[in-house]
Amino acid sequence: MGRNSRTGKPEKIKYFDYSLLFIIIFLVGFGLVMLYSVSSYEAQSTFGNSAYYLKKQLGSVVLGLIAMFIVSRIEYHFWQRFSLLFYAIALLLCLAVIFVGEDINGSKRWLRVGGVSLQPSELAKIGIIIFVAAVLCKTVKQVSKLKNVIKVFCFAAPIILVIAINNLSTAIIVAGIAFIMVFVVSPKYSHFIGMIVIAAVGVVGVTIMQGSYRAVRITAWLHPEQYPDDAYQTLQGLYAIGSGGLFGKGLGASMQKLGYVPEAQNDMIFTIICEELGLFGAICVILLFILMIWRFMVIANNAADLYGSLLVIGIMAHISLQVLLNISVVTNTIPNTGITLPFISYGGTSVAILLTEMGVALSVSRGIRFDENKQIE
């Protein structure tokens, strides 16, 4: 065993989670392959270039990987010092969407900066992780009381409410991230039930304010066969899942991607994975995400301090909520809403921000120190 020459004590060994890095690279590579397979027909028919979506996504992936590498080398307490600034920037950008946002397919969720479209709600996810982690570190001893839990949510509420105006599904994810981080710090079931009730009231309130639009979605979800127009995307996605069988039709052999599943490269890409790679391929994808979540748990459990642990817990909450909601939507377990599958669905802002988040998690893993006779668990 190596010992420090001055103190004679066992030296601390540096750690880096190469397992997480491998999973990230594999998911990104798999996502690019599936994106080309799914989008080539629509890209050729719409833009005259079968690799149109792939090239745009590849550019965002390269930027994201560069950001991941840089962020992984930055000491993660840097983000704690500027947490309020990051939160404020994300909030202002989300507010800007309401007034000057670009309307695409009936949804105002993007800002156009020069020739690039930016989705501020994706920035809000990493912003809320950094901000809530910093707030909880300052108030960790007071979070045991429900009123202090509510105070933490009051800090997060502005950005959640602003996002909910145009994008309820993302607002639910952002609120879920904050909820999980608070619950980990103060795991009291009374708090858990109270926050669930408050969240449910909020969702119902927003649904009522949006009126018939949400009501139609819920009705189409409950009885898709009776509303073939409103539930068209869901029904076509279910046909794709059902036709894939155990091992699928083969990579590139999907029929539903040929104009039947609208925007198949976005929210519904998992249905084409099921059709081309079958149940076996779908389970493999889910297992990869489970392995990723396990690595987050390992890093959070062994992080050098509470702030690092909370950062990774927030990232873990983001990935797990988004995967769960996306698969629930495409299997018609919950009403249809715009949730992408991390690292795989088309979306430049999404994949770039996700890879940046991975850089934060890797930075926390780099801060882990342990003795030679102690294993990371």
Instruction: Answer whether residue 1 shows pLDDT above 50.
Output: no
Q: The tokens of 218 are what?
A: 């819920």
Instruction: Answer whether residue 107 shows pLDDT above 50.
Output: yes
Residue 321 lies in a domain: yes
Residue 75 lies in domain:
13-370
Residue 177 lies in a domain: yes
Q: How far apart are CA 347 and CA 339, in angstroms?
A: 11
pLDDT at 32: 96
Residue 376 lies in a domain: no
Residue 88 lies in a domain: yes
pLDDT (tens digit per residue) in 280-296? 999 999 999 999 999 99
Residue 6 lies in a domain: no
Whether the CB-CB separation of 15 and 293 falls below 8 Å is answered with no
Q: How far apart are CA 2 and CA 222, in angstroms?
A: 63
Q: Running DSSP on this structure, what letter comes out for residue 248?
A: -
Which whole number is the average pLDDT over 132-143? Answer: 80
Q: How far apart are CA 39 and CA 257, in angstroms?
A: 8
**Residue 152 confidence class, pLDDT cut points 50, 70, 90:** confident
pLDDT at 372: 53
Report helix, strand or coil for 109: strand
Across 335-348, b (16+ Cβ under 10 Å) vs e yields bbbbbbbbbbbbbb
Residues whose CB falls within 8 Å of the CB of residue 287, separated by 6 or more in sequence, listed in order: none
Weakest mean pLDDT among 24-33, 232-241, 278-287 = 232-241
Which whole number is the average pLDDT over 251-275? Answer: 90
User: pTM for the whole thing?
Assistant: 0.90
DSSP sequence for 185-229: HS--HHHHHHHHHHHHHHHHHHHHHTTHHHHHHHHHHH-GGG-TT
Closest CA to 256 of 280, 279, 281, 232: 232
The residue with tokens 């090239």 is 55
Residue 375 lies in a domain: no
Q: How far apart are CA 351 and CA 122, in angstroms?
A: 9
Instruction: Answer whether residue 11 shows pLDDT above 80.
Output: no
* Number of domains the chain is built from: 1
Residue 5 lies in a domain: no
Residues whose CB falls within 8 Å of the CB of residue 96, separated by 6 or more in sequence, listed in order: 111, 120
Q: How far apart are CA 176 and CA 196, in angstroms?
A: 10
pLDDT (tens digit per residue) in 317-328? 999 999 999 999
Q: The tokens of 192 are what?
A: 């858990």
Weakest mean pLDDT among 58-67, 221-230, 332-341 = 221-230
pLDDT, the chain, mean: 85
Residue 160 lies in a domain: yes
Closest CA to 296 of 18, 15, 14, 20: 20
